[in-house]
Structure 1
C-alpha cells in the first residue's frame, strides 16, 4: 500500500482531528488531505506523474508534509534536499535527482536562484547541464523580506491550490521514496525504498513490540488503532530536520497513528523556543539529533530552573534520536529534568535497519545497553552470521524489510546490500563486538565519513574547497571526537612558504562554497603533510597535530 492511501483512510475516519499544529498553520486531517489533493493537481499540471521526482528544498514546516502527501497521491517521489546547501550543491542534487518540480521557501531565494541559473547554463568546460530547470513552487515564509524578487517563473504555492486532483489513482505499494545520502566523494546518491517495504519496516516503531499478534495485520486494523478513543494520539515535535529519515519517518508514523505533528515557527534551532513549544503545546514525543540537540536543551533547562522559572516538560513520554552520537553523559543530564520519559536511541542508517536500540528511562538504566534489533545480525568476513554469545567482532547487518538499493549505482548496491546464500542483508559498514545477551559494542565505521551533528561530511569535497586557495599546497580532512556534535570536522592544511593565509580565511573559503556544517571547526596550518611515497598521510600524526593545537 502507498502511504497516502493509508492517510486518506485516517483522514476520512477522523476529519476534525488536528494533523499539523504550528504558529502559522494548523490543519485538521480533512484540510490536510484536501490541500494535498489540490497540490497533487498542481504537480500533475506541471508534468509530474508516477515515478517522477519532486525536490523539497525546505526546512521543517507544514508544507513539507503537504508536499510529501501530494507527491505520494500521484505515485511520485519526494526528494529530501538539505536546506543548508549552497547553490552549487543544490544544483547538483536537482540534476542528479532529475526533479521535475522544486518546492522551496522565499527565504532561500538566493541559493535557489543561483542553482536555477547553473541548471540553465553550460559550465565553462562544456559539461552538459539540463536544458531547462525544474518548475519552482515558492512558499512565502516571510522570514527574509530583503531576499529580493522571486526567481523568474516562480509559482506561488498557495495560488496553486485551486482544484482537487481528479485523475486516475495509480498508487501501489511498489511506489518509491528516494532518500538522498552521500557517497565517499560527497556525490549524493539515492536509497530506494518501496512504500510497502518501508511500512513493514516501521511496524514496530509504529505499534511497539507488545505480545504476539499485537501488530496490526490489515489496513482496517491500522485505521482502527488511529481512531481508538482509548489510545491517546501522539503529539510529535520533530526538532531534527525532516530531510533526515528519522524525523521524516517519525512524522509519517504520527499521521498514520492519527496524531499531531507540531512545527516551530523558525528554522533556526532555539532551545528556549523548543522547550516553550513542548510546554505550551503539551508535546508527547520529539525527535532530536543526539548530543547536538540534547546538550543545548540541557543548558536551557538548567538556566530556566536556576532562574526560578523551570519549563514544564512533563508531557514528554518519548525522545527519539537516530544516526547521531548520544552519549550516556548527555542522557544523564537530560534525565535530571524529565519525569518518566523514555530516551530511545536508534542505531540505524538511511540504507536500512534499525540495527540496534538503547532504551533509557532513568539513571539506573545507564550505561546504555545497546541491543540488536529484531532482524539484525553480525556477519564475519565470509558473510556468515556470528553467534550472539561468541564475543566475536564483525559487521552489523540487517535482514528485515529493506530498500531496493541505491539508484543507478549497482556496484555500491552490491557492496552494501549483500546476498549470502538465500538471504539478503544490508550492511553499511559498522563494526561491532558481540557482548552476549544480544548486546553489542560499536567499534566504528569502515568509511572515512564524518558524522557531525547528524550531518554527513565527506572529506574529499572539503579538501577540494581548501585546495582552491592559491597558497594551499595540500590538505587532509577528517573527524575528531566532539562532546556536542559527536564528531567535528578537522583539517590539516599545508601552505606555501611565506603565506599569510590564516585558519579563519581558509575556513571562510570552505563556507563560501559548501554548507556551513562542512567548515572545519579545527584547522591547523603546516609547511607539509609529509605524505608517504604512496601518497598517504600519517593520520595518527594529523590527529595529534589537531589535538596539540587545542
Structure 2
C-alpha cells in the first residue's frame, strides 16, 4: 500500500472520531480533536508563509502538541524535523542550520536556548516561532513568538505524496546529520511494524487500512513512548499506532520520571512500551519493583516492549518478563534505515535472545559480497528495502552510506556482525569504533558484553585511545552499583576469563554513571577527548 500518514490519519479521524488518540493524563485528544488541531495549526503555518517544501523543526520533549505539530506539517507537505531538546544554544543553532528550518515549535521552558540560537548568523530566518506554554512559572513568552494555541482558520489542503521527514543522527562522533525520509517510503517501510507485529495482514489499499483501524476486532494498542520522539523508534512506533486507531500515552516531561511513568501506564492501561535499552528500562523496573504487591502484577495490561538504540541486557529482559506475559522485541536499527535484525523473547526461558536478520538485511564482506549464509563470517550489515533518500545537502556522504550494490541501493551504516547461521548474527560494533590494538581488531560491543555480565556493573562503554606501543589501547569506562567494592583489576580479570587476552581493557575507568543522551547514545568524541586529557 502506498500512502502517507497525513492522509490516513485524516481518514481514521473521520472513521473513529470519538476514540482517544493522544493522552498525557491531564490532556486527552480524540481523533476528531487531533485532526482539528492539526488543521488549525496548518492554517497558522500557512498564515506565516510555511508550506510545502519548508521545514518545521520541533525542539521539544514528548508532549501531545508534538504530535499535533507533526500532523500539521505532514498535512501541508512541510518536513517535520525532530531535534534533540537537550541541545544548548550553540548546538541548537547548528541543528536549525542543518535542517534548514523555517519554523520552530518549542516549549516556553526552552525559550532561553531558542532566543540565543536564533541570534546566531548560521541560523536561517525563522518565519514562525510557535511556543507551547508548558507552565514554566513566571517566564515570559519570547518576543515575537506565536502561542501554540493561537486561533487560525482550519486548513485542509490536498496532502502531497512527495512530503519529507527529517531525522537527525545521534551525532556521537561529530555534528549530527539530517537523514531525509520520503513520507511515502517511510509509511511503506513501517507497514510490518504497524500490522505484522499484531499478526495482521498488510492492507493493500487506503480504504482497507481505514477498515483495519475502525474494525472492533483490531487489537487496541495503547503505546507509551518512554524514549524521546526525536528517537526514530519512539516517533515511528507512535505514528504507526495512530494509523491503527490506537492510543498514544505521552509522559509530558523533559526527563524520565519513572514513578510517574508507572502511574500513567497503569492509569491509561498501556499495552506497549517503547524504550531505549537499559538506560530507560532500569529506572522503570526499579519503580515497578518498588511498587509490586503480592496481590498481582503492577502492569497487568502490558504485553509488549520494543527497544532500539542501545543495548537491552538479558538481566533487564528477564526482569521485564517477570512483569507478566510480555513479548520483548529488541531491534538493531539506525537512523539511516533498517531494521536490520531483531531479538525476540516471549519469556525468560528464551534468553539469551539472539539477533535474527530481517528480510532485506544482508551481511557484506570487504568486497561487498553477501556472506549472511556463511557461518563464522564477519562483515558489515546492510539493508536493501525501503530506504531514506540520503543525508540532506551531503551527496558525498550519501553515496558512501547508501551504495548501489549489484544494481540495488543499500544502506550500510558500518555495523559489524558475525554470522551465526540460520539467519542469526552477533553484533560486534560500529566500524568507526572498532579498536585496532597491536594489529588485532577488537569490537567494543563484545568487550562491553563481557563487562556487563559482571553482577556489579550497571553500564559500560569501550573505546580505543592512542597508545605508543599498541597503536590503540582498549579502554573501558564502567559504572558500578552503588557501594560496590569491585576494582578495575577485578573487571579486567573478569573480561579475561571470557575473552582472549588481547581483548582485555588496558585501562578501566570507574564512574558513578555514564552520561548518555535521551536516545541512549554516548558522545564518544567528547569522552575520548576527556579520557585522553586525564592521566592513565
CA contact (8 A) 1:304 1:311 kept: no
Moved more, 61-70 or 389-398: 389-398
Following superposition, the deviation at residue 405 of structure 1 comes to: 0.9
CA contact (8 A) 1:237 1:262 kept: yes
Structure-to-structure mapping, 1:307-346, within 5 angstroms: 312-336=298-322, 338-346=323-331
Q: C-alpha distance in 2, partners of 1:272/1:61?
A: 18
Following superposition, the deviation at residue 483 of structure 1 comes to: 7.7
Moved more, 295-304 or 183-192: 183-192
Q: Counterpart in 2 of 1:487?
A: none
Residue 197 in 1 paired to residue 185 in 2? yes
CA contact (8 A) 2:93 2:123 kept: no
Following superposition, the deviation at residue 346 of structure 1 comes to: 0.6
CA RMSD of aligned residues (A): 3.2
CA-to-aligned-CA distance 1:85-113 (integer Å, 9 cap, x gap) = 11111111112222111111011112112
CA contact (8 A) 1:24 1:265 kept: no
Residue 270 in 1 paired to residue 257 in 2? yes
CA contact (8 A) 2:271 2:303 kept: yes
Q: Counterpart in 2 of 1:165?
A: 155
Query: Normalising by structure 2, what TM-score?
Result: 0.81
Q: Counterpart in 2 of 1:384?
A: 369
Q: C-alpha distance in 2, partners of 1:320/1:400?
A: 21
Structure-to-structure mapping, 1:124-523, within 5 angstroms: 129-130=122-123, 132-142=125-135, 144-146=136-138, 148-159=139-150, 161-165=151-155, 168-172=157-161, 174-182=162-170, 185-208=173-196, 214-305=201-292, 312-336=298-322, 338-448=323-433, 480=477
Q: Residues 210, 295 of structure 1: CA spacing in aligned structure 2 closer, same or farther, 3 A cutoff?
A: closer
Q: Residues 96, 448 of structure 1: CA spacing in aligned structure 2 closer, same or farther, 3 A cutoff?
A: same
Q: C-alpha distance in 2, partners of 1:527/1:389?
A: 43
Q: C-alpha distance in 2, partners of 1:482/1:404?
A: 39
CA-to-aligned-CA distance 1:247-304 (integer Å, 9 cap, x gap) = 0001100100000001124332111111111111110101011100111122222222
CA-to-aligned-CA distance 1:303-340 (integer Å, 9 cap, x gap) = 2237x78762110111100121111111112222x211
CA contact (8 A) 1:54 1:77 kept: yes
Q: C-alpha distance in 2, partners of 1:184/1:259?
A: 34
Q: How many residues align?
A: 468
Counterpart secondary structure, 1:34: helix
Q: C-alpha distance in 2, partners of 1:528/1:111?
A: 31
Q: Residues 31, 440 of structure 1: CA spacing in aligned structure 2 closer, same or farther, 3 A cutoff?
A: same
Q: 1:112 aligns with which of 104, 111, 114?
A: 114
Q: Which residues of structure 2 form unaligned runs of 5+?
A: 435-443, 449-460, 464-472, 482-508
Counterpart secondary structure, 2:256: coil
Q: C-alpha distance in 1, partners of 2:230/2:474?
A: 25
Counterpart secondary structure, 1:295: helix
